[in-house]
Amino acid sequence: MAETAEGLLARLDMLGIAHRTVRHAPVFTVAESQALRGDLPGAHTKNLFLAPAKGEGPHMLATLEEHRQISVNALARAAGWPRVRMGDAAALAALLGVVPGSVTPLALVNALPGSVRFVLDRALAEAPGLVWVHPLTNDTSTGLAARDLIRFLEHLGHEVAVLDAELPAA
């Protein structure tokens, strides 16, 4: 059974991780989410759920600064992954317990350690303020410090690889 948004936020609270959560209209793209900027100062993200192109090995999740432009295979090379393709909705639901539009690093709460490789954009890892992500649903955004996001994921048993800031443009 996948974790709920409420259960996820309770886990953050139990770990003493400060966060700010804001409800809003559902957003499916970076462009749609940009209308929220006045209410949500800080670093904003986009997330890519990827599958190995040849179907062998774990799926991958990349959380990037929202303006980052990179091909998925350039991203895979930078992360040391095999060639990739976009992951499908069935795998997304099975591995991370979320639907398209709600992809978030916090969905790793639903994944077994090692079942999904994860990389975080250095721009986000070093962001001075809040980093905004969905708490398992795209009608809510949660801001937390990058170090706390990393600490939470590591607490769950997931390795957090920080992706070099010098990625080639798409």
Rounded distance, CA 152 to CA 109, Å?
9
Band of residue 97 on the pLDDT scale cut at 50, 70, 90: very high
Q: pLDDT confidence of 144, banded at 50, 70, 90?
A: very high
Radius of gyration of the chain (CA): 15
Check if the beta carbon of residue 30 is closer than 8 Å to that of residue 46: yes
Query: What's the pLDDT band for 44 if we cut at 50, 70, 90?
Result: very high
- pLDDT higher than threshold 60 for residue 170: no
Burial letters for 27-53: b for 16+ Cβ neighbours within 10 Å, e otherwise?
beeeeebeeeeeebebbbbbbbbbbbe
5-30+44-163 belongs to CATH 3.90.960.10: yes
Return the pLDDT at 154. Answer: 98
